[in-house]
A = this chain, B = another copy of it.
Amino acid sequence: MTKVGDARRTSVLDRATHVASVEGLAGVSFGLLADHTSVPKSALQTLFRTKEELQLAIIKTAVEVFTRTVLMPAVEHPEGLPRLRAMMSAWVDDYLKEFEGGCIFAAGASELDGHPGPVRDALAEAVRAGEELTTREINLAIRLGELPPDTDAEQLTFELHAMVLQANHDRQLLGRDDALERARIAIERRLSPPIAPSA
């Protein structure tokens, strides 16, 4: 692809990702995207060929946004509990605010869970990768004595991610911006266990 083609693709994908956050991944069509950009439908079809390729490209873009807003800032913090805290905090406060229609992975999960195929697979893989990052950091925090030795890392991952999912849900469906604060409080409580860590 030419550099001009690349730039156009990037700009269209940026818009497409926002449209998907409002309309859902299943709801994004070339026609709808043409309405939201200055790019004619035929040119969009040349760029992405099929709706499936467009959906896969949107998921890739959302993963890049996650990397930029959550992972990159988190690696500035020491491994273990500080990095885990930074990650969860950026997830709630920065990542969730990136898209007007809320988290694309959450929306896509509900839409696509009943539809096996490459798009569902890509979505599930992105979600699993996010879980693995969280579990890895929890395990490091346990080894460093920052979390109790009997912590179930996968259980804690489930609970932390639950708060992010619920915050996104309440904010999008019920218009509750205080849901982000509720998620923050719940995450902080789970990461500050009553047993003081051995230093």
> CB-defined interface of A101-129 with B at 8 Å, one 1/0 digit per residue?
11000110111111000001001100110
A132 shortest CB reach to chain B, Å? 12
Q: Is A73 an interface residue (CB 8 A)?
A: no
> CB-defined interface of A68-111 with B at 8 Å, one 1/0 digit per residue?
00000000000000000000000000000000111000110111
Is the pair B162, A186 in contact by a Cβ cutoff of 8 Å? Answer: yes
Q: Which of B26, B159, B165, B172 contacts A27 (CB 8 A)?
A: B26
Bound complex: CA A154 to CA B123 (Å):
31
Q: Is A61 an interface residue (CB 8 A)?
A: no
- The total of chain A residues at the interface (CB under 8 A) is 42
Q: Which of B101, B110, B161 contacts A166 (CB 8 A)?
A: B161
- Identify whether the interface residues of A are mostly helix, strand, loop, or mixed: helix
Q: Is A1 an interface residue (CB 8 A)?
A: no
Query: Which residues in A have some Cβ–Cβ distance to B below 8 Å?
Result: 21-24, 26-27, 100-102, 106-107, 109-114, 120, 123-124, 127-128, 154-155, 158-159, 161-163, 165-166, 169-170, 172-174, 179, 182-183, 185-186, 194
